[in-house]
Amino acid sequence: YPFYDFDATYMKVTFIEIAMPPMTMATVLAIRGGLNKDLAINTLGMGILASFLIIPIWNLIINI
């Protein structure tokens, strides 16, 4: 990374953290707040399933 004074490991870890699935606490707060329970749970589940594809793709991109 020629334009930044960062170690490559820090950049890789940052991108992997960005690609992580959504937090479950947001789903809990949405349900407790009276929002649509089914939508909150389905969104969380889809986010976790999508992360199984997104994380390896980001890993390939940052290792180029």
Please state, in angstroms and rounded to a whole number, the distance separating the CA atoms of residues 50 and 28. 20
What's the pLDDT at 31? 94
Nearest to 14, CA basis, from 29, 32, 30, 1: 1
Domain edges within the chain: 8-62
Nearest to 27, CA basis, from 18, 14, 15, 36: 36
Instruction: Per-residue pLDDT tens, the chain, 64 aa: give them.
Output: 555 666 677 777 877 777 777 788 889 999 999 999 999 999 999 988 988 888 888 888 877 7
pTM for this prediction = 0.64
